[in-house]
């Protein structure tokens, strides 16, 4: 006697319920799917309401094209979609949805009500489904568009319900989902109502900047710069990103969209990190709102049911486009800054900015200052040269254009080294007021950029030393140096082994020729040691550059006027003069206006 078969085909409701787990795992995913459907339907306005963290009710209504009765009935069937008809269509997908799963899945795990009315139709359709069982279909009078109410999510899947977090946590995810959609579609009006209270109302026809202002507050916006770049293979990168000085300790404000779709990809995090390389301290992260556009066939969005992960056909080009666009934006090559605050002004917010006048009584004495000279940043275009004050005499009042900074990223148009105070900080007078400079941070920046620029140009010019320097190393450092000798030679170091653990250095990269060889080699070995690991060529170069800048002058080294002036000129030529490669401020600016205010003169 044969046994009864063990294998059974699951009833459709059960199959839907299981599949629902992939698409809807918490209230926020319902919000996401419904908002995406509304966007796909061409909505100009989308209103979201939730109660009890989305457990009791999630309602999303839109003024999109709506559905006729037939479509409404089909919409809740599994694999029913109006958005593709063949697999190949996915390659060119322009809508957010295409799998035809969401409504069926949501309806199978909730008490679901769909009310919809197609444009031009006199009556609408109301369709109620309870845990996947159709209850009722009726004609109904409703405005054009669609309203979907999802009640008692997971009422029939206790296992799921148990895994829901507190209302606050679920609400946090819902809010995040809402924000992501709001950023991706600034042109669409949106509102979010939580337990009867409107939390966000975002007008139609917004742009990204005003969305950020409404969602994150005006402060963030003031500290952002615009990104606009096109890489190889028609990868366009636009958006707004924070200045290095506005970094944060988490990555919570990093939003990346590919062809309008919010995505997470490790590749993109890496690219963002690289784009800021050399301007952020360890453990600091920028806020970024980046929009990548590329031909739809170059990105695979069908990797995961929630479509959050994507794969790029030309991953390397995407990465490079992002890095280049960020670097360009941060180097100040794009004059446009959101909220119209140039990086210059932003520096006043650095930690370490002098607190409002806590004037201690200082003994007065006339300092023995070197003769003050005013000088120009040599690379300024000639039409600005006229501002040059006559040598030695006080500079003329700053013309109105002085603070615009447009076209040049130099932090000042002219400046005069007043002197070094406390044996440490350097005081400068500029067209805009007064600047305090940390010579070590400044020198780190200069070395870093000069060396990186030389690396970037491919061949690092090398300069023979008049007197070769012998560098004695510990056994361990000597081994390490041996391992990296080829790389260093390629970067312009002239090295030869000399006895057991010593090296003779007879040439240095030209831009570093003024630095003591021993100090340089030690700094580099230290940096390579700390960095550990392995990486690609660019990674090694970055580590090298970081090592190089450790050889900068000591924080409290007293410098000659000539050295100070050279440093000031070199710093002004840097692409990112405001921070050291590890993110410390190089300059603290105090405008004349601020001084006037503090002295009570307006
Ligand atoms: P998908 O979005 O992947 O096509 P869904 O299950 O989310 O699958 O939706 C099924 C179909 O229902 C969609 O293809 C669309 O035709 C229709 N639909 C869903 N939501 C709306 C809406 N808000 N307005 C108009 N049509 C909708
Ligand atoms: Mg959908």
Residue 543 CA to ligand 1 center (angstroms) comes to: 50
Determine the pLDDT at residue 380: 36
Spatial distance between the Cα atoms of 198 and 93, rounded to a whole number of angstroms: 34
For residue 36, how far is its CA from the centre of ligand 2 (angstroms)? 6
Question: What is the distance between the alpha carbons of residues 573 and 382, in angstroms, rounded to a whole number?
Answer: 16
Q: How far apart are CA 37 and CA 439, in angstroms?
A: 56
* Residue 348 scores a pLDDT above 90: no
What are the structure tokens assigned to 558, written together? 């007293």
Give Cα separations from 600 to 345, 349, 430, 596, 597 (angstroms).
21, 21, 21, 6, 5
Is pLDDT of 483 > 90? no
Side-chain half-sphere CA neighbours of 465 within 13 A: 21
- List the end-to-end C-alpha distance of the chain, in Å, as a whole number: 104
Tokens of 366: 């006339």
SS (H, E, C) 521-544: HHHHHHHHHHHCCCCCHHHHHHHH
- Between 70-79, 383-392, 461-470, the lowest mean confidence (pLDDT) is in 383-392
State residue 392's pLDDT score: 37
Lowest mean pLDDT of 211-215, 416-420, 515-519, name the range. 515-519
The answer on pLDDT for 80 being more than 70 is: no
Cβ-in-10-Å burial (0-12, 13-18, 19+) of 197 comes to exposed
Going from the Cα of 83 to the center of ligand 1, the distance in angstroms, rounded, reads 8
192 DSSP β-pair partners? 48, 200
CB 527 within 8 A of CB 547: yes
- pLDDT of res. 407: 37
Specify the range with the lowest mean pLDDT, choosing from 106-110, 451-455, 597-601.
451-455
Helix/strand/coil for 367:
coil
Mean pLDDT for 213-217 is: 89
Measured distance CA(72)–CA(183) in Å, rounded: 29
As residues whose CB is below 5 A from the ion ligand 2, the structure lists 37, 97, 102
Give the position, in ligand 1's atom list, of the atom nearest the Cα of 145: 24
Closest ligand 1 atom, CA of 95?
A: 2
Q: In what order do the strands lie in the sheet with 425-430?
A: 374-376, 414-421, 425-430, 433-437, 587-591
Bigger pLDDT: 386 or 433? 433
Relative to the alpha carbon of 107, which ligand is closest?
1
331: left (phi over 0), alpha (psi -120 to 50) or beta: alpha
Largest Cα separation within the chain, whole Å, is 113
In the prediction, which pLDDT does 260 show? 86
Nearest residue by C-alpha to atom 25 in ligand 1: 66
pLDDT value at residue 409: 63
Q: Cα–chain-centroid distance for residue 483?
A: 35
Is the confidence at residue 175, as pLDDT, over 90? yes
Find the residues whose C-beta lies inside 6 A of ligand 1: 33, 37-38, 41, 62, 64-67, 75, 80-83, 97-104, 146
Asked if residue 22 lies in contact with residue 305, where contact means CB atoms within 8 angstroms, the answer is yes
By most ligand atoms within 8 Å of CB, the mutation choice from 44, 103, 117, 146 for ligand 1 is 103
Mean pLDDT computed over 280-290? 86
At 12-29, the pLDDT tens digits run 777 777 666 667 889 999
- Rounded CA separation 511/493 (Å): 11
In this model, does residue 81 exceed pLDDT 80?
no
- In degrees, rounded to 5, the angle at the alpha carbon of residue 577 between the alpha carbons of residues 571 and 583 is 125
Yes or no: say if 515 and 508 are a contact pair by the CB < 8 Å rule: yes
C-alpha closest to that of 345 among 404, 277, 423? 404
Q: Whole-angstrom Cα distance, residue 219 to residue 324? A: 26
Closest atom of ligand 1 relative to the 103 alpha carbon: 6
Is the pLDDT score of 372 beyond 50? no
Residue of the CA atom closest to atom 13 of ligand 1: 81
CA-proximal residue: ligand 1, atom 21 (nearest): 37
CB 34 within 8 A of CB 54: no
**Count of C-beta atoms within a 10 Å radius of residue 232:** 12
Q: Which residue has the tokens 């008490």?
A: 111
DSSP percent split of the chain into helix, strand, coil, nearest 5: 40, 25, 40
Pairing of strands 45-51, 189-194: parallel
Measured in angstroms, how far is the CA atom of residue 33 from the centroid of ligand 2? 5
- 204 vs 412: CA distance, rounded Å: 41
Q: Which ligand is nearest to the CA of 81?
A: 1
Cross-strand pairs, 291: 238, 257
- Phi, psi at residue 444, to the nearest 5°? -60, -45
Candidates 296, 282, 250, 289; CA nearest to 268 is 289
Inform me whether the pLDDT recorded for 321 exceeds 60. yes
- Cβ atoms of 512 and 464 within 8 Å: the answer is no
Ligand 1 atom closest to Cα of residue 99: 3
**Per residue in 230-264, pLDDT tens?**
776 678 999 999 988 788 888 888 999 998 888 87
**Ligand 1, pocket-test mutation among 71, 81, 106, 132, most atoms within 8 A of CB:** 81
**pLDDT the model gives residue 396:** 37
Strand partners of residue 258: 261, 292
Beta bridge partners, 227, equal 239
Give the residue from 189, 243, 232 showing the smallest Cα distance to 320. 232
User: Which amino acid residue places its CA nearest to atom 16 of ligand 1?
Assistant: 82
| pLDDT at 198 exceeding the cut of 90 | yes
CA dihedral sign of residues 330, 332, 337, 342: positive
Instruction: State phi, psi for 134 to the nearest 5 degrees.
Output: -70, 130
Query: How much is the mean pLDDT over the chain?
Result: 79
| Residue predicted with more confidence, 202 or 448 | 202
- How remote is the CA of residue 162 from the centroid of ligand 1, in Å? 29
Q: What is the mean pLDDT of the segment spanning 403-417?
A: 62
Distances (CA, A) of 56 to 81, 154, 189: 27, 10, 25
Percent of the chain with pLDDT over 90: 31
Of 330 and 95, more confident: 330
């Amino acid at each position: 006697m044969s046994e009864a078969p063990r294998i059974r085909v699951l009833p459709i409701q059960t199959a839907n319920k299981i599949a629902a787990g992939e698409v809807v795992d918490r209230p926020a995913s319902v919000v996401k799917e419904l908002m995406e459907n509304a966007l796909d339907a061409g909505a100009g306005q989308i209103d979201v309401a939730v109660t009890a963290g989305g457990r009791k009710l999630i309602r999303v209504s839109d003024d999109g094209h709506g559905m006729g009765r037939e479509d409404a009935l089909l919409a809740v069937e599994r694999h029913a979609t109006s958005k593709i008809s063949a697999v190949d269509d996915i390659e060119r997908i322009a809508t957010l949805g295409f799998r035809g799963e969401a409504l069926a899945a949501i309806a199978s795990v909730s008490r679901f009500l769909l009310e919809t009315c197609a444009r031009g139709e006199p009556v609408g359709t109301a369709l109620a489904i309870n845990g996947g069982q159709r209850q009722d279909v009726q004609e109904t009078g409703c405005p054009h568009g669609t309203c979907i109410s999802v009640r008692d999510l997971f009422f029939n899947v206790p296992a799921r319900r148990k895994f829901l977090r507190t209302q606050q946590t679920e609400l946090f995810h819902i809010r995040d989902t809402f924000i992501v959609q709001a950023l991706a579609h600034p042109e669409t009006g949106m509102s979010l109502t939580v337990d009867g209270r409107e939390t966000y109302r975002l007008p139609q026809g917004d742009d990204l900047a005003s969305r950020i202002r409404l969602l994150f507050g005006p402060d963030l916006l003031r500290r952002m710069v615009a990104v606009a770049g096109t890489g190889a293979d028609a990868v366009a990168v636009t958006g707004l990103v924070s200045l290095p000085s506005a970094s944060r300790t988490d990555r919570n404000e990093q939003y990346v969209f590919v062809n309008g779709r919010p995505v997470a990809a490790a590749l993109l995090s890496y690219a963002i990190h690289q784009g800021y390389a050399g301007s952020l301290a360890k453990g600091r992260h920028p806020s970024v709102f980046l929009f990548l556009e590329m031909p739809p066939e170059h990105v695979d969005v069908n990797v995961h049911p929630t479509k959050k992960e994507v794969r790029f056909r030309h991953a390397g080009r995407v990465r490079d486009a992002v890095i280049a666009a960020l670097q360009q934006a941060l180097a100040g090559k794009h004059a446009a800054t959101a909220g119209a605050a140039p990086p210059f002004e932003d520096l006043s917010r650095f930690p370490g900015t002098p607190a409002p006048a806590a004037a201690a009584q200082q003994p007065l004495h006339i300092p023995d200052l070197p003769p003050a000279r005013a000088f120009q940043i040599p690379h300024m275009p000639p039409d600005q040269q006229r501002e040059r004050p006559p040598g030695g005499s006080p500079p003329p009042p700053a013309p109105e254009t002085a603070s615009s900074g447009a076209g040049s990223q130099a932090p000042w148009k002219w400046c005069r080294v007043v002197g070094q105070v406390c044996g440490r900080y350097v005081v400068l007078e500029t067209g805009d007021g007064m600047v305090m400079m940390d010579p070590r941070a400044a020198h780190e920046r200069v070395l870093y950029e000069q060396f990186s620029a030389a690396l970037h140009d491919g061949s690092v010019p090398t300069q023979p030393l008049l007197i070769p320097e012998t560098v004695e190393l510990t056994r361990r450092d000597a081994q390490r140096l041996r391992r990296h000798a080829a790389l260093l030679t390629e970067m312009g170091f002239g090295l030869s082994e000399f006895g057991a653990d010593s090296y003779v250095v007879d040439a240095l990269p030209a831009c570093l020729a003024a630095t003591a060889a021993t100090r340089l080699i030690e700094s580099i070995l230290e940096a390579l040691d700390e960095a550990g690991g392995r990486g690609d060529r660019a990674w090694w170069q970055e580590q090298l550059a970081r090592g190089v800048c450790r050889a900068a002058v000591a924080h409290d080294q007293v410098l000659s006027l000539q050295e100070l002036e050279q440093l000031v000129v070199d710093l002004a030529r840097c692409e990112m003069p405001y921070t050291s490669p590890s993110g410390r401020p190089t300059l603290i600016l105090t405008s004349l206006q601020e001084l006037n205010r503090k002295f009570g003169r307006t």
